[in-house]
Chain A
Amino acid sequence: KAGVTQTPRYLIKTRGQQVTLSCSPISGHRSVSWYQQTPGQGLQFLFEYFSETQRNKGNFPGRFSGRQFSNSRSEMNVSTLELGDSALYLCASSSEVRGQTYEQYFGPGTRLTVT
């Protein structure tokens, strides 16, 4: 099976701009989660989507948003970029075998640099 894919892999934006990142989960996986990784804060949960609905949300400002499509692909959007948004953005997918499987598999990430 192909793994989780993310596009683009690298991105450079300027403050105030917005950005959209894309994630395709492992085939058959319906849950997609997004995480932000920075040297100072480590890995932090952004949000999780399941069947096109946001099921969980982390403690990030409203500038961070996401959505999921009927084919389980997901996008996240960051508006009005700030320097502190520079990070590795990771997407993870998991299956929902009888609602009991929580193992999450990460994609390669998108490295966002805000200047």
Chain B
Amino acid sequence: QKEVEQNSGPLSVPEGAIASLNCTYSDRVSQSFFWYRQYSGKSPELIMSIYSNGDKEDGRFTAQLNKASQYVSLLIRDSQPSDSATYLCAVIPMDTGRRALTFGSGTRLQVQP
């Protein structure tokens, strides 16, 4: 079982819709969770970080964390064609003091105009 799992997609949504991206992780002690956006040929860009159960909103983006279910999601409201990219979920376990991000394989999002 992979440590961080994401559906590879592509996830196709129409412009203006809500895109929902999901991620599950296997390490119960994981405490820090991140969403990165990566455009083709570019490096990952940090969109959201979340450390506590519940929702965290930033503009059109909402991250949701459920540690009991080992599940983290990213909602993108009012999706735009410019949101078309690969979204990477990343996790850091807190207990070891490591700073190493463990990434999922990413979900490719396509927003149709």
Which residues of A are interface residues toward B (Cβ below 8 A)? 31, 33, 35, 42-45, 48, 50, 55-56, 58, 88, 90, 92, 94, 102-109
Q: Which residue in chain B gives the minimum CB-CB distance to A44?
A: B103
Which interface class (under 10, 10 to 19, 20 to 34, 35 or more) fits B? 20 to 34
A109/B99 in contact, CB under 8 A: no
A45/B105 in contact, CB under 8 A: no
Top 4 nearest A-B pairs (CB, nearest first) are A45-B100, A43-B103, A106-B43, A102-B32
Given contacts A33-B99, A104-B34, 12 further A-B contacts (CB under 8 A): A33-B101, A42-B105, A43-B44, A45-B100, A55-B99, A56-B99, A88-B43, A90-B43, A90-B44, A94-B99, A102-B34, A103-B49
* 0 or 1 for each of B30-48: is its CB under 8 Å from A? (1 = yes): 0010101000001111100
Residue B109 interfacial (CB < 8 Å): no
Q: Which residue in chain A gives the minimum CB-CB distance to B4?
A: A42
The docked-state distance in angstroms from the alpha carbon of A104 to that of B102 is 12
Which residues of B are interface residues toward A (Cβ below 8 A)? 32, 34, 36, 42-46, 49, 88, 90, 92, 98-106
With A42-B103, A43-B88, A43-B103 as given contacts, are A103 and B46 in contact (CB-CB < 8 Å)?
A: yes
B78 CB to nearest chain A CB (Å): 25
The docked-state distance in angstroms from the alpha carbon of A102 to that of B90 is 11
Q: Which residue in chain A gives the minimum CB-CB distance to B33?
A: A102
Chain A residues contacting B42 (CB-CB under 8 Å) are: 108
B99/A108 in contact, CB under 8 A: no
Q: Which residue in chain A gives the minimum CB-CB distance to B94?
A: A102
B100/A103 in contact, CB under 8 A: no
The docked-state distance in angstroms from the alpha carbon of A102 to that of B98 is 10
A109/B43 in contact, CB under 8 A: yes
A58/B106 in contact, CB under 8 A: no
The docked-state distance in angstroms from the alpha carbon of A102 to that of B104 is 17
B101/A105 in contact, CB under 8 A: no
B103/A104 in contact, CB under 8 A: no
Chain A residues contacting B36 (CB-CB under 8 Å) are: 106
Cross-interface CB contact of A45 among B88, B102, B104, B106, cutoff 8 Å:
B102
